[in-house]
Amino acid sequence: ILDDYPHIRGTVFDMENVIEGTQEIMSAAGKAGIVETVAGSFFDGVPKGGDCYVLKHIIHDWGDEQCVTVLKNIASVMEPNAKILIAEIVMPETPEPHPAKFMDVNMLAMTEGGCERTEKEYADLLAKAGLKLNGIHPTPSPVSVVEAVKA
């Protein structure tokens, strides 16, 4: 993102052990002054001031209750025009076989409550957190970008 949009600044927010490595990577990439690193748990709160909060392959790791906690924490610090972009596989609503459904079974086996979700399930999850589904943007990969704003 920062390579494509050099005028913006970013914050990487993750657990302490991840942030230590991130600082080294950002310095090596020449992004040390552009990217701030903050350690913490998104279950406890997130940094304020973002125009856009990006969660890639995060939401599918958790059950609905944990996801609502994370999303509420983000919503509580979002400015009115801020967005959340969630990069995940979005399962089709129809019953035919689909690769996303295989991944859903994998998440069930590998996590405690994690799953892939349909568009309706994302809309419901976001609503529980005081957010609104603003669109789903497909990509060339199996991953789509779920866009959310404050409700």
pLDDT in tens, 75-92: 999 999 999 999 999 999
Q: How far apart are CA 89 and CA 107, in angstroms?
A: 11
* DSSP structure class, residue 28: H
User: Total domain count for the chain?
Assistant: 2
134 or 106, greater pLDDT: 134
Q: Are 76 and 144 in a shared domain? A: yes
Q: Are 30 and 53 in a shared domain? A: no
The pLDDT score that the predictor gives to residue 84 is 99
Given pLDDT bands bounded at 50, 70 and 90, which one contains residue 142?
very high
Q: Are 32 and 50 in a shared domain? A: no
Q: Are 70 and 55 in a shared domain? A: yes
Given pLDDT bands bounded at 50, 70 and 90, which one contains residue 54?
very high
60 catalytic per annotation: yes
CATH code where residue 141 lies:
3.40.50.150
Q: Which residue has the tokens 């979700």?
A: 117
Q: Are 20 and 90 in a shared domain? A: no
Q: Is residue 96 scored above 90 in pLDDT? A: no
Q: Are 84 and 50 in a shared domain? A: yes
Which of 57, 60, 98, 137 is an active site residue? 60
Region 79-108: mean pLDDT is: 92
Q: Are 140 and 71 in a shared domain? A: yes
For 30-47, the pLDDT digits (tens) are 888 899 999 999 999 999
Q: How far apart are CA 73 and CA 130, in angstroms?
A: 10
Q: Which amino acid, one-letter code, is at 109?
A: A
Q: Are 120 and 77 in a shared domain? A: yes
For residue 5, what are the contacts with CB-CB under 8 A and spacing of at least 6? none
Q: Residue 127: exposed, middle, or buried by beta-carbon count in 10 A (0-12, 13-18, 19+)?
A: middle
Q: Are 64 and 21 in a shared domain? A: no
List for the chain the helix, strand, coil content (%; round to 5). Answer: 35, 30, 40
Q: How far apart are CA 126 and CA 14, in angstroms?
A: 21
For 1-20, the pLDDT digits (tens) are 888 998 999 999 999 999 98
C-beta atoms surrounding 52 within 10 Å: 14
C-beta atoms surrounding 47 within 10 Å: 14
The pLDDT score that the predictor gives to residue 99 is 85
Q: Give the residue numbers spanning the domain of 128.
A: 46-150
* Three-class DSSP category at 1: coil
Q: Are 28 and 56 in a shared domain? A: no
Q: Are 118 and 60 in a shared domain? A: yes
Q: How far apart are CA 127 and CA 120, in angstroms?
A: 10
Q: Are 98 and 140 in a shared domain? A: yes
Given pLDDT bands bounded at 50, 70 and 90, which one contains residue 70?
very high
